[in-house]
Amino acid sequence: MSSPPVIQVIAYLKRNPALTRDEFYEHWEKKHAPIAKPFFEKHGVTRYQQIQASGTILANRSHSDTTETVEFDGIALSQTSDPGLMMKGLASVEEGGDAYYNEVVKVDEDRFLDRQAPGEGVVAVFFGKEIAVI
């Protein structure tokens, strides 16, 4: 019996404009990561990485039909064999989401993400099957 495939979730983040990029990185690494870790572990994430990089990308989490190029300030990488379990936890409590995420993690995200940007600061998300080469 083979193991289920590892899925890589790639999320492009836009910082709260009240923060400098260095302040964003500091908060994301030192304050947010320890808060987010228990949520990820509970919801099947086996690896979580933060990439401190910036650039532009086409937003795929916009509520409009137009394609919009937006700046991003970081990339969050999560590995899981069950992305549905993680995504379910991210839903509102009313929709069956995780209370800890909604009461702790999301509250912290409100501090450092640009909630006016497409996807409320998570401007693009991609899911892909991981193929290890090296």
Q: DSSP for 19-84, please give it.
A: S-HHHHHHIIIIIIHHHHHHHHHHTTEEEEEEE---EEEE-SS-SSSS--EEEE-EEEEEEES-HH
* Mean per-residue pLDDT of the chain: 93
134 occurs within a structural domain: no
Q: What is the DSSP letter of 87?
A: H
Q: Which domain holds residue 99?
A: 7-129
Q: For residue 82, is it within any domain?
A: yes
**Bridge partners, 71 (sequence order):** 56
Local confidence band at 65 (pLDDT 50, 70, 90 cut-offs): low
Report whether pLDDT(18) > 90: yes
Q: What local confidence, expressed as pLDDT, does residue 6 receive?
A: 94
63 has a pLDDT exceeding 90: no
Considering the entire predicted model, what is its pTM?
A: 0.92
CATH number at residue 74: 3.30.70.100
Total of domains in the chain:
1
Q: How far apart are CA 111 and CA 117, in angstroms?
A: 14
At residue 66, does pLDDT exceed 70?
Answer: no
Of the listed ranges 5-19, 50-64, 86-100, the one predicted with least confidence: 50-64
In a domain, 84, yes or no: yes
Residue 25 lies inside a defined structural domain of this protein: yes
% residues pLDDT > 90 (the chain):
87
pLDDT at 48 over 70: yes
